[in-house]
Amino acid sequence: MTRRLRLAFFRISQETNALSPVRTEVEDFRQAQLLEGEELLRMCGRWVAEAPGFLRNAELSGFVRAARELGGDRVELVPLFSAWAVPGGKLSARAQRWFCDKLEADLRAVGPVDGVFFSMHGAMGAEGDHDPEAAFLRVVRGVVGPDVPVAVTMDLHAHLSASKVDASTIIAAYRTNPHRDHARVGYRAGAILVRTVLGEVRPQLAWRTLPMVLGGGTTMDFLPTMRPLFRAMRRMERDPRVLYVSLFMCHLWNDSPDLGWATCVVTDGAPQLGERLAEELADAAWGVRHRLPPHFPSSGEAIRAARRARVRRRLGTVCISDASDMVGAGATGENTRLVKALLEEGKGLVSFAPIRDAVVVEELWGVPLGSEVSTWVGGKLAPEENPPLQVRGVLRRKEHTRTFGRAVVVDADHLKLVVTEGPPLAMRPSFYKDLGLRPWKADICVVKSLFPFRLYFALLNRKTIYARTRGNTDLDAYRRLTFDGPVHPKDVVADWREADRRRRGAT
Ligand SMILES: [Zn+2]
């Protein structure tokens, strides 16, 4: 019998908000997910949740299914680990070193492999390193050498850099925004990897990068701005030589000087075709650069709009997304501005809102339920950005949660304030339900997410309002960042090709 082909697979994933003052530590991964070996393989089964409470099947489940379906007995699955953390601030230098050491030790421990599958977010940042995921890829290359194929899956908000491309054989990004194809992308990238180790295809990468930092509502795959581009990508993939096409639409809160949109095409040994398609897609993406995201109203305007939506409130709830403090994009979740506006201008509207304040949770944890409490929330992590706010109310609930530590509910008349120890990833109705609050009874549910809540709240949400307060996830955060040259829309840029050539190191 011939030797089975061994495929190692792992995940290190966290979406970094470089503007957040909070550092992400190994402990934050332990809190959300840090699985090893056989346990990881079990969690990648079709009927088991890969990321309980978040996703049933994600990239690694997709990869495992592809390996079993296409590789069968010829392939051996070698699970390493899955480390995943809630979006947040940069990885500490210590945490980055820990992951590099662990990855190297684990890869060496399993012995020679024929292929590697790496699921990353793609927009991770670290203390002193803009591109820690490229460092992880270099660790992989250091162990397996230059010839073993390495497949990488990324969020379409990833930062595609020359260092990442150089170390990868196959790159595949989500093709939906809000993201709903994690497992499918894992399957497709896994299938290409399996076919590569079996000698059926020879993947080659072509890519382009655009000096363009844009994001927000216009980038949803099914809305008019982006729909033609996603359709064009599907059309490109009808050619059997084209294995995968990705379009990266930029994570706006990454501080890499070469940040921007990007395109990437994987062909089966057709480099010229790949170059042509990557260029064509880049041109199409450049063509939508003037379709800027819509203006978001202030907190006060958002509350007034919710008040006017009388019928919709009666039929369900109004979701106000705190666009400047999206925990789903790595913000701290301690922004007090919207909470203050709800307290002062939202009278008569039953409103649910989260705020992160570990100090207040600790302070109230020993207080009996039903007590009148008065406390100052916010301003503990970034006091200059989030002015503390006094809240008076009745302590209604205390709870241990799965991913954001302990939580308490303060009933401040019309406002039910959920104070959490960790980052409050409020994007599903269960965030409130688990704490005894019923979203369908609320006039306003505050969410800390830009897109995903629209899926999860679909049955209850009758109106979506994005409010601009001020914080780590402002869509014009690029004004605070430094780039390696002119970028759109911060500067006037006549053509994308000059920056692209420089960034890719192409001549
Ligand atoms: Zn994303």
Cα(155) to ligand 1 centroid in Å equals: 5
Is the residue at 94 inside a domain?
Answer: yes
Q: What is the sign, positive or negative, of the torsion defined by CA atoms of 411, 413, 418, 419?
A: negative
pLDDT band at 1 (very low <50, low <70, confident <90, very high): low
204-229 burial code (b ≥16 CB/10 A, e <16): bbbbbbbbbbbbbbbbbbeeeebeeb
Is the residue at 491 inside a domain?
Answer: no
Q: Are residues 15 and 121 in the same domain?
A: yes
> Contact at 8 Å (CB) between 229 and 247?
yes
Q: Are residues 226 and 344 in the same domain?
A: no
Cα(77) to ligand 1 centroid in Å equals: 28
Cα(249) to ligand 1 centroid in Å equals: 9
Please tell me the distance from the alpha carbon of residue 131 to that of residue 120, in angstroms, as a whole number. 12
How many residues in total does the chain contain?
Answer: 507
Is the residue at 42 inside a domain?
Answer: yes
Q: Are residues 106 and 42 in the same domain?
A: yes
Residues near 29 by beta carbon (within 8 Å), at least 6 away in sequence? 14, 83, 84, 85
Cα(160) to ligand 1 centroid in Å equals: 13
Cα(55) to ligand 1 centroid in Å equals: 14
* Environment of ion ligand 1 (residues, CB < 5 A): 155, 157
Q: In this structure, how many other beta carbons lie within 10 angstroms of the beta carbon of residue 314?
A: 10
Please tell me the distance from the alpha carbon of residue 438 to that of residue 253, in angstroms, as a whole number. 33
Q: Are residues 282 and 356 in the same domain?
A: no
Q: Looking at this protein, which amino acid is placed at residue 254?
A: N
Q: Are residues 265 and 305 in the same domain?
A: no
pLDDT, mean of residues 249-274: 95
Cα(408) to ligand 1 centroid in Å equals: 29
477-486 burial code (b ≥16 CB/10 A, e <16): bbeebebeee
Q: Are residues 67 and 167 in the same domain?
A: yes
Domain around 226: 5-286
Is the residue at 501 inside a domain?
Answer: no
Is the residue at 483 inside a domain?
Answer: no
> Contact at 8 Å (CB) between 320 and 467?
yes
Could you read off the pLDDT of 361-372 as tens digits, one per residue? Answer: 999 999 999 999
Cα(15) to ligand 1 centroid in Å equals: 8
Is the residue at 486 inside a domain?
Answer: no
Could you read off the pLDDT of 159-194 as tens digits, one per residue? Answer: 999 999 999 999 999 999 888 899 999 999 999 999
Cα(362) to ligand 1 centroid in Å equals: 33
Cα(158) to ligand 1 centroid in Å equals: 7
Cα(310) to ligand 1 centroid in Å equals: 33
| Number of domains the chain is built from | 2
- Residue tagged 């346990």 (tokens): 39
Q: Are residues 467 and 385 in the same domain?
A: yes
**Model-level pTM greater than 0.75?**
yes
Is the residue at 479 inside a domain?
Answer: no
Residues near 234 by beta carbon (within 8 Å), at least 6 away in sequence? none
CATH of the domain at 261: 3.40.50.10350
Cα(499) to ligand 1 centroid in Å equals: 24
Q: Are residues 280 and 303 in the same domain?
A: no
Cα(435) to ligand 1 centroid in Å equals: 27
Q: Are residues 308 and 259 in the same domain?
A: no
What is the pLDDT of the chain when averaged over all its residues? Answer: 94
pLDDT, mean of residues 402-420: 95
Our CA angle for 139, 145, 148, nearest 5°, is 105
Is the residue at 150 inside a domain?
Answer: yes
